[in-house]
Amino acid sequence: MWSAPQVLLLEDRPEELAALRLAVDRAGLEALPVPTPRRALSLLELCDPLLAVLDLDMAGVPAQERVITVEMVLQRLRDRHVNCIPLVYSACVETIEDQSRLFELHPHCLFQSKRQGEDRLLRRLNALLAARIGDLAGRQGVVVHLPSGEVFSHRIAVALLAASRAHHTLVLAASDARAARRFEGWLRRCGSSVSVRPAGNRHYRLSVEGVEPRH
């Protein structure tokens, strides 16, 4: 049975959490909204999200809850959810020193400054959720081959698209690697310019004909 890829949303302000959830719903993915890092860690025991949007500034979290931090959530993603793309947004991640500190917690962090406003964050989020790579696009939680209109419905296909947009590879277990190979077979039948390429040591990435991958 097909299930929509999931997006973890950690935000302590209700109005901003609602805006993020709406953006994820519109993209056809399943939002996992939580107001505290403790709730995020509990949810990660049950779920394996494609993307995590993390507000680093948890001023609204009650004092007794602050023993569990956003940094701990980043470490959990790094250790147990290696394919999840973390997008950290804050007014305090603009310097090289701030970003280096977070890179030590998770080497694949993406950053978005709060000083650029909520609209910029939502556009960044949409670019990941509805990524377009070559002749493929993410739409409503599936991958569409634009020239033919053919659709491939599998979370691994959506994850590969988002990872490509973020210049990452995916590390796939055996069952997910089979799904990636089915996706590659579908791409060949569609005559797509995009292909699924093994990158060694269980890593996979998308490759566009005539475009050199970034490392």
Q: For 125-173, write each residue's pLDDT tens digit.
A: 888 888 899 999 999 889 999 999 999 999 999 999 999 998 899 999 9
Rounded CA separation 170/164 (Å): 9
Are the CB atoms for 145 and 138 separated by under 8 Å?
A: no
Residue extents of the structural domains in the chain? 6-129, 132-208
Domains 6-129 and 132-208 share a fold: no
Are the CB atoms for 156 and 180 separated by under 8 Å?
A: yes
CB atoms within 10 A of CB 30: 16
pTM over 0.75: yes
* Burial class of residue 82 (count of CB atoms within 10 Å of its CB; 0-12, 13-18, 19+): middle
Query: Residue 73: what pLDDT?
Result: 96
* Average pLDDT score over residue span 20-46: 93
Query: Residue 182: what pLDDT?
Result: 97
Identity of the amino acid at 117: G
The rounded mean pLDDT for the chain is 90
Query: Residue 50: what pLDDT?
Result: 93
Rounded CA separation 164/186 (Å): 18
Query: Residue 213: what pLDDT?
Result: 56
Considering only 26-35, 115-124, 147-156, which range has the smallest mean pLDDT?
Answer: 115-124
Residue 31 pLDDT greater than 70, yes or no:
yes
Q: For 89-119, write each residue's pLDDT tens digit.
A: 887 776 778 788 888 888 889 988 888 888 8
Query: Quick check: helix, strand or coil at residue 157?
Result: helix
CATH T-level fold of 132-208:
Arc Repressor Mutant, subunit A (1.10.10)
pLDDT range class, residue 10, cuts 50, 70, 90: very high
Rounded CA separation 77/84 (Å): 7
Which residues, at least 6 apart from 205, have a Cβ–Cβ distance to it below 8 Å? 160, 163, 164, 168, 169, 170, 196, 197, 199, 213
CATH T-level fold of 6-129:
Rossmann fold (3.40.50)
Helices (H), the chain: 14-26, 37-44, 70-80, 96-105, 118-129, 155-165, 174-190
Are the CB atoms for 47 and 8 separated by under 8 Å?
A: yes
